[in-house]
Structures are given as C-alpha cells and as structure tokens.
Structure 1
C-alpha cells in the first residue's frame, strides 16, 4: 500500500473552512492581515462564539472578559487564536470518522498540545507553534480509519490506537505510519515545510538528520498524554518514558512525576495534572 493513496482519493480528503485555510496561509505570510482575519471570523457567528468561549477559559487566566474577536487577538495573540480556530476546524472536518473513539482521540491530542507547549516554555522554544504541531500530529489516524477501515480495524485488535508502539506497528504492517499521513495532510493543506518536516519526525525525533526541538517536544507531550488517557501505571510509564529525547532537550528530569498529582504545586518543577493544564480547552472539540 502506498501512503499517497490515502490522500489522492476524491471524496476521502477532509476539507476545512475557508477562514481556516487563510489562517494556515498566514504561517508563511509576513504581511498577514490580522484585521481581515478578524473580519472573517466575526462573519461566522458559531465560530466566533466558540473562539470567545475558549479565550475566556481557565486555560488563559485572562484578567478581564474577552467579548470580541479583536479583543481575543489582542489578549491571546494571533498565533494562539489561529491555533484555537484550526483545532476546531480540523475536529469538525473529521467529526464523522468511524472505528475510533473520537472523544478519547481529541482529548489525547489536546493533552499532547498542552503538555508540549508547557515543556516548550521550559526549553525556551516557541510554545504556540509547538501547540500547533501537537494538535495536528495525530490526525493521520483519522484519515487512515476513514480510507482503510478494514486494515485499521485489524491493527486496532492488535494494539490500541494510542499505544506507545502504534507507529512502529503501522510502519511494519503498512509501510508507513499515521504521523507520516499527518504530514501529508499538512502538505495538502499548504502548511509551511518546517511544520511538515517536524510532523514527519515526531515518532522518532532522534533519528532525523536535523534534530527538531519542536518534534521532540511533541514526542514527549504525546507520551505524557498517552499515559493519562490510557491510564498507564507508574511502572508502565517508567518503562515507556523517552528519556533520551528528554535528555537531548536538556529538560530538568523533575518535570515528570510518574505518580498522578492530586493538585498542582506551583513551587514544583513537575508538570501539573493534565486536567488542570488543559482546563477549558475541551470545548475546542465539541
């Protein structure tokens, strides 16, 4: 089976709204018109309402109520507003995908994005762009379940779709894995080459010819998200922890706590509980 066959099938390629396409184009545009994007978002009442709900969520800790799209752009920044709209648009594009637990899948993607962004701030890497990669990295799974449902059902019986070794199993059985499919979708949607390359290397960041900090951070964020969503025990977490990736990034080993924390300790270097780290952003995928 060829990877490209998952993309080159009429009617099987998900489409995203025009405003989301323009937001993607803004990645590589030095003169993106924020006012024009704000106008287009405002023209979509449902999308505007969702954006404002997200902007006022506990995740951003804003000091005053954000009541307009323009205020959201001012308070959160263009990149994060773009992330919120892209996340919602991509989720809507795959809302009818069969054979996969969509609420669990999107919770995992959100956990990955937020965990990777939290780590990026400690590694002094652009957290908003890492957040974008986290949101996008898993969508190849949805495309594969939509186009080759029989083959995916067989793999799902062997190993959970979110299991740590899933990409390796897919590569062995199909010749490619879901992260490569995610990268191809990003290419079709005209994401910048730097993001496409990073998506390609999320599964094995240390094997890339040129090390990508963003890919490595999403790799670690995905590990943390899998541990939470799949309810891995402390022993299972320790056995699967990508220690070499964390060392390559120079992260403080104390960031990870293999036992779930009852509540966040602001003085601790450990990552807060995922429910707290993502509070309010679940609405992105509703």
Structure 2
C-alpha cells in the first residue's frame, strides 16, 4: 500500500464503519449518568444531519483526490481571507461567469406550452454546441424510436419533449463556465460537474414527485450550487497561491461548506434565474419546498458518486439516504433508480459480495 492510499483507506474506514465508538476501559472513573433520550422529532433531525455530514465529508475527500486526508486542521486564516475576498466581490456580470446568451430565450420557450417546436429549434440552432448535443441525445437509445437517424432539430425537439429538452439545455449551457484548471486537485472540476448534473436531475424529480415546487427551477438549483463550489475553490486556490500556503482537506471543506450556496445565490441573481431558485439557495431557508429538494438531491447525487467510484456499497448509501426528511420511501426508491440506475455495479459492492 502506498503512502497516499493508506491515509485515504483509514479515512474511509472511519467514515463508513458502523456501530458506536468503543468506550475506554478507564478504571476508577465514575461513569456519568446516561442522558435523557431525545424526543423523536429531535432524534430524526439529528440523524438526518449526521447523514448529510457523512455524505458531504465523503464527497469532499473524493473531489480532492489524489491529496490524502491526513487530518490536518483547518487553516482558519486562509478561509477568512477567502471569505473576505468573496464578500468584497462586486457580484455583477463582470465578476461572474458570463450568462449563456440564449438562456432567457430558452427558459421562456420551454416554459411556454404554446411555443412551437419550430421556434424552439430556431433558438437552439443559434448555438452549434447545443445543436450537436440535442441531436446526439435525440439519437440515443433513450429517445430514438426509429432506425432512421434524427437529423432535424425540429424532429429532435419534438422527440425529446420539453422535459428532456430542459435537461439538455441547462447542462450544455452551464458546463463551459464550470471549467477549473487545478493541478493540486485535478479531478475537482469533473467530480463537481458530475455531482451537479446528478443533483440537477434529482432535484427536478423530487420537486415533481413531492410537489415541492417547479421542477425546472429545481433543476437549476443543482447546476448553480455546482458552479458556486467551483467559484469558491477558484478563490481559495488564488488566496493560497498568494500566501504560498498549502490547501488541506479541512481548509477546503470548510470554505466550500460555508460559501458554496451564498456564491450560487449570487450567480442565480446575476443570471436572472427564477426567484424560487434564489430563495432556495439561501443558507437560512427553511427545510421545505425547493430548499428541501436541493438538500435531498445533493445527498442522492453524492451517494451515487460514492457508489460509482467504489467508495461504498448501495446498501450503505441507501441506509444514509433513508434518514433524510420529506421523502417517503417510495419516492426515495424512484429517485435512486433515476439517479443511480439498477445496473450500476461498484467496486465496493463486488468486494462485499465476494466476502459474503
């Protein structure tokens, strides 16, 4: 085992092991009286919070590979400098990624049932990348119903439908502004982008299945929170480089936890996204409506990523997801199938099966 994999292995063991810590066998010390049991609602809330914290910490470790987590303390001065720089930003068009030019037209088109496929195709045709991706998806096994390939934008729009079109549009328009060149954490951008796509899909499905809000607005939540994470990391890297300081897991995790949603909210405002998106991205938003959809979706996306990368098995991931509030078991099962798929096999599942 190499020096870089050993700390990571110990981290995953600590993170995913079951049971309670073993009590120390100190003699001569009186055991304190057991605390009164928590109220059922309070206990459920704490269990949900613990599950979210486990998943969030695991996602951070995955995104920051290959740097091992050796338990270094958070550099509070570096986090403070990053926070000060983020707060000092003039959050206008000049200091944010450029809003995709076609965004307002496309949002209006896909939300208007009277908009014809011809008009929607004409708007999409202005963007070669969007055109190519729409045709590719329309010809994928999920949508293609004939042997003859789909080579017309209008046919593609009709075939994919408004729901599929929304997913294609939002993903293709946002991906270019989420690129981050980072030598220290080379896979950070790809992990965050993959998480944003999964969270976007899960938030939209959760809003639709539970009635928590507009599914299209929920879809933008997943994408903007991913962009917020990229912008926070970009600022953290810049402050660390100026001070010639290394970035450890604790420092990066603290900065991302504290600032991802506030920065995402500024992006939503600058891009003139629907008001419910701004409100749900507020750190102080109540855990209901679209804010709940985002919370559940981020956990689902993280659990799926951890399974796909062989960090944990599906049974362990689902055990954590079942603690989340506002999601009945039947809805959770549907969301998991949509986000993760039934046929996904992971390294952790294979190892568990071989040991069984």
- Aligned counterpart for 1:93 among listed residues 177, 185, 188: 177
- With over 3 angstroms needed to count, the CA separation of the structure-2 counterparts of 1:5 and 1:130, relative to structure 1, is same
Structure 1 unaligned spans of 5+? 257-268, 279-286
**Does the Cα contact within 8 Å between 1:42 and 1:48 map onto a contact in 2?**
yes
- Aligned counterpart for 2:192 among listed residues 94, 102, 105: 105
Give the aligned CA root-mean-square deviation in angstroms: 4.1
Paired residue secondary structure (1:190): coil
Paired residue secondary structure (1:75): helix
- With over 3 angstroms needed to count, the CA separation of the structure-2 counterparts of 1:273 and 1:238, relative to structure 1, is closer
Q: Deviations over 1:242-266 (max 9, x none)?
A: 4442x4222338729xxxxxxxxxx
2:276 aligned partner: 194
* Greater C-alpha Rg: 2
**Once the 2 structures are TM-superposed, how far is the Cα of residue 270 of structure 1 from its aligned partner?**
6.0
TM-score normalised by structure 2 residue count: 0.55
2:139 counterpart of 1:56: yes
Q: In structure 1, how many angstroms separate the alpha carbons of the residues matched to 2:181 and 2:317?
A: 33
2:102 aligned partner: 19
Paired residue secondary structure (2:306): helix
**Once the 2 structures are TM-superposed, how far is the Cα of residue 182 of structure 1 from its aligned partner?**
1.4
- Aligned counterpart for 2:326 among listed residues 248, 254, 257: 248
Q: In structure 2, how many angstroms separate the alpha carbons of the residues matched to 1:160 and 1:219?
A: 21
**Does the Cα contact within 8 Å between 1:14 and 1:93 map onto a contact in 2?**
yes
Q: Count residues with an aligned counterpart.
A: 251
For structure 1, which segment, 26-35 or 82-91, has the greater mean C-alpha deviation from structure 2 after superposition? 26-35
- Aligned counterpart for 2:337 among listed residues 257, 261, 271: 271
TM-score normalised by structure 1 residue count: 0.66
Q: In structure 1, how many angstroms separate the alpha carbons of the residues matched to 2:221 and 2:262?
A: 13
- Please list, as runs of the form range in 1=range in 2, the aligned pairs for 1:1-286 lying within 5 A after superposition: 1-2=83-84, 3-6=86-89, 8=91, 11-24=94-107, 35-58=118-141, 60-64=142-146, 65-98=149-182, 100=185, 101=187, 102-117=189-204, 123=210, 129-151=217-239, 157-159=248-250, 166=253, 169-170=254-255, 176-200=258-282, 208=286, 210-212=288-290, 213-228=292-307, 231-234=310-313, 237=316, 241-245=320-324, 247-252=325-330, 255=333, 271=337, 274=340
Q: In structure 1, how many angstroms separate the alpha carbons of the residues matched to 2:150 and 2:314?
A: 43
- With over 3 angstroms needed to count, the CA separation of the structure-2 counterparts of 1:254 and 1:50, relative to structure 1, is closer
**Does the Cα contact within 8 Å between 2:150 and 2:156 map onto a contact in 1?**
yes
Q: In structure 1, how many angstroms separate the alpha carbons of the residues matched to 2:338 and 2:167?
A: 22
Q: Deviations over 1:75-108 (max 9, x none)?
A: 2233532331221121112335435522232222
Structure 2 unaligned spans of 5+? 1-82, 345-356
Q: In structure 2, how many angstroms separate the alpha carbons of the residues matched to 1:50 and 1:238?
A: 32
- With over 3 angstroms needed to count, the CA separation of the structure-2 counterparts of 1:277 and 1:22, relative to structure 1, is farther
Q: In structure 2, how many angstroms separate the alpha carbons of the residues matched to 1:140 and 1:158?
A: 18
